[in-house]
Structure 1
Amino acid sequence: MDVDGLRKSPIGELVPISGTDPRTGLGWSYWAFVPQPLPASPTLGARAANIAGLAAMEVARLDQAVSQLPRPEILVRPTVRREAASTSALEGTYASFDDVLEADFLDDRQLTVEQREIRNYVTATDQAVELIKTYPISRNLAGRLQATIVKGTQGDSFDAGDIRQRQVAIGPKNRPIEEARFVPVPGDDRLVQGMSDWEKWVNRDDDFMIVARMAMAHYQFETLHPFADGNGRLGRLIAILQLMQDGVLRWPVLNLAPWLEQRRDVYQQGLLDVTLTGDFDPWIEFFAEAVHVQARAGVQKITQLLILRDSIVEDLRVQGVKGTALHLAEFLIGYPVLDVPTARILTGKGFETANQAVAKLVDKGLLVEITGKRQNRLFVCRQVLNVTQFLV
């Protein structure tokens, strides 16, 4: 950690900390950073304000594009799973997009460690979408989501679901604290107060630009690092919830994590630079560019998927396919991997009818079985998967 640089920070202070390394039994003394509350009346430079404004306009276009769909939730599904894969990759958890989609159809005993963590994020997103309809963004809401994100993983500790009561460090695992990239505020009254101030700032009623608000709130959340695990994933989910709470976005269809994943080092350094300099503008510009680019790309991807859906349906019609099989084909842009029970739910038909519809799409080469004809068979539509796995 850049102790000398952080000592000069204009927006926080270093405080002494000490403890005992459980691996060696030796005591240690070091420093942790306690940020000041976010400014009550933040000001933006012209460039930051311009990019933040353009980003908000693109988010509005994305929301409008989704709202015009007869079944918006169909396209929400692959978007959330793409976000889950990338936001987990930012924290060092990697899985192929095929594995991410397959996880929906596995029970807990069949999940890999990676699939469990990613599916937890999907579950937390679904939970968040429901909670934000009733509750504001808060410490309590964040805690409920964090408990879901870490459930059944190595991060599922005694303090899951509430802010930590212990010191943590960000950096290589199982290394001395002196080798940490950053050491956040101790888990005591200072963290409790920091979260209280953050909660009030996020929910205050003013005209400060929403994308700039997202960027600053995300910085503060990650700097506080309020939970023992899952802070990065949770912080990026909260950014999407801010758009939903503000009424700018009705569905979680903005994929920020893939863009940030490609710029991991710049992302991490950008957060640290705010701490070192107290200048939020470069960070807001970076974050707003992510929102702007990804919202615009989201509109393009929706168009691409709808064109693909229409092409698939038209091709099947030409081949004489009709009825339930044709109806099922329309759902594949949201379910490129599915099983017969899911096909039954989507079409509203009985099991045998749904099974025959799946068989018909297999016969036409649209679906391919990927489970070796064992029980609980899974099928994939490669045409759709090739598009959705690269959702931006």
Structure 2
Amino acid sequence: MAYEPQFTISTRLLSLVEEIAMLRERIQGAAVALSWIPALQKDTRTRNGHASTAIEGNPLTLEQVRALEEGRELAAADQRSSREVLNYFAGLRYVEKNAQKKKIRHEDIFELHRLLADTVMDQGEAGRYRTIAVRVGRHVPPPAADVSALMFELLEWWNTKSTELSPVLSSAILHYQFEHIHPFADGNGRTGRALGLWELYRRGFDSHHIFSVDEYYWEDRPGYYRALNAVRLAGEDVSGWLEYCAAGLHQTLERTWLRVQTFSRQTPEKVVLRPRQEQLLKLLSDHGSMAPAELWEALGVSRQGAMDLLRPLLKAGMIEKIGGKKTGRYSLKKS
């Protein structure tokens, strides 16, 4: 039996989706011409990592999470709290790396969960659907024997029918239905929110990866859980949930626009990023630092071609060269 979400599009939801589209266009239009994208991506990654783990009770502050993102050790933090955050960063990198993937399989969900839940599960096994019954507050998820079939139906919908909807709606539906199935013994909240983000990336909604919607859920944690539970009380009609998620995304984009303006005022040198330069910045973000030869090989350009891409970024203060003339490596400039 195919999964078919139940919902109606209210006037409020339609208005939110339209306002979200206008905000997104404004942000994306500014982002392609400004040089602070890597700094804003780093800030967004930190905020997502902090918020999504804090929802589950992780006690680390935003500044502590920022320190972990920068590779610094925390003296007073317990190992599990740090590991949860580091796992979430690994999960985000996996989502970013697979943002263009056309078809999502069970194995992709397993790998994402394994990255997010490795060594921090209270029960069950990371990267494997649960074999036990679970309870989440008042919600009793489907029996373990039904999980695989329900996930098959959800993935089938995600890979086909979801594209008929705005990503604002499809990401929210995916998020809810995953939490309803609760396919793993532990770590479902972080995984479900990461899947919602994956859908936004996959559909090109957040092409620069600078939106941190998990902050909204964390700051409104009681409302977040009420909205999830309200779907069950409404007989699995997700209309109210769609409005809640759209309101959250709208607030997220309003905040992002303010951050865009703040970052742009702090950067006197502006650069219009070419596609190859965006690819170069992504390589440095993924690898930390790279030697010149590694860069031009990965980009598929000549040494001179690589230097033509690098010089404007160096001048704008977006990247820096560390080390000597022969042993130097390029990396994103630390803010």
Q: 1:123: which partner in 2?
A: 90
What are the residue-to-residue correspondences of 1:1-392 with 2, within 5 Å? Answer: 38-39=3-4, 43-70=8-35, 72-103=37-68, 104-106=70-72, 112-155=79-122, 159-171=125-137, 181-188=138-145, 190-205=146-161, 206-278=163-235, 279-310=237-268, 346-350=319-323
Q: Distance in 1 between matches of 2:121 and 2:194?
A: 20
Letter in 1 for 2:113: Q
Q: Distance in 2 between matches of 1:40 and 1:183?
A: 19
> Does the Cα contact within 8 Å between 2:36 and 2:264 map onto a contact in 1?
no
Q: Distance in 1 between matches of 2:133 and 2:30?
A: 45
TM-score, with length taken from structure 2: 0.74
Q: Distance in 1 between matches of 2:2 and 2:88?
A: 28
Deviations 1:60-88 (A, max 9, x none): 43333333334633321111111110111
Deviations 1:173-197 (A, max 9, x none): xxxxxxxx22211111x11111111
RMSD after superposition: 3.5
Q: Distance in 2 between matches of 1:97 and 1:131?
A: 26
Q: 1:369: which partner in 2?
A: none
Shift of 1:140: 2.1
Which blocks of at least 5 consecutive residues in structure 2 are unaligned? 270-280, 289-317, 326-333
**Secondary structure of 1:65 counterpart:** helix
Q: 1:374: which partner in 2?
A: none
Shift of 1:250: 1.2
Q: Distance in 1 between matches of 2:30 and 2:240?
A: 30
Larger radius of gyration: 1
Q: Distance in 2 between matches of 1:62 and 1:169?
A: 40
Taking only the aligned residue pairs, the percentage that are identical comes to: 23
> Does the Cα contact within 8 Å between 1:215 and 1:284 map onto a contact in 2?
yes
Letter in 2 for 1:246: R
Letter in 1 for 2:159: N
> Does the Cα contact within 8 Å between 1:85 and 1:118 map onto a contact in 2?
yes
Letter in 1 for 2:158: V
> Does the Cα contact within 8 Å between 1:37 and 1:194 map onto a contact in 2?
no
Is the alpha carbon distance of 1:297 and 1:121 closer, same or farther for their aligned partners in structure 2, counting shifts above 3 Å? same
**Secondary structure of 2:322 counterpart:** coil
Q: Which has the higher helix share?
A: 2
Q: 1:11: which partner in 2?
A: none
> Does the Cα contact within 8 Å between 2:231 and 2:241 map onto a contact in 1?
yes
Which blocks of at least 5 consecutive residues in structure 1 are unaligned? 1-35, 172-180, 314-330, 339-344, 353-380, 385-392
Q: Distance in 1 between matches of 2:18 and 2:184?
A: 31
Q: Distance in 2 between matches of 1:101 and 1:201?
A: 36
**Secondary structure of 1:348 counterpart:** strand
Q: Distance in 2 between matches of 1:126 and 1:54?
A: 29
> Does the Cα contact within 8 Å between 2:67 and 2:73 map onto a contact in 1?
no
Is the alpha carbon distance of 1:251 and 1:92 closer, same or farther for their aligned partners in structure 2, counting shifts above 3 Å? same
Deviations 1:4-27 (A, max 9, x none): xxxxxxxxxxxxxxxxxxxxxxxx
Letter in 1 for 2:49: A
Is the alpha carbon distance of 1:152 and 1:63 closer, same or farther for their aligned partners in structure 2, counting shifts above 3 Å? farther
Shift of 1:127: 1.4
Q: How many residues align?
A: 284
Shift of 1:152: 2.5
> Does the Cα contact within 8 Å between 1:240 and 1:254 map onto a contact in 2?
no
Q: Distance in 1 between matches of 2:74 and 2:119?
A: 9
Shift of 1:97: 2.0
TM-score, with length taken from structure 1: 0.64
Deviations 1:197-238 (A, max 9, x none): 111112225532221122222111111111122211111111
Q: Distance in 2 between matches of 1:60 and 1:242?
A: 18
Q: Distance in 1 between matches of 2:103 and 2:37?
A: 24
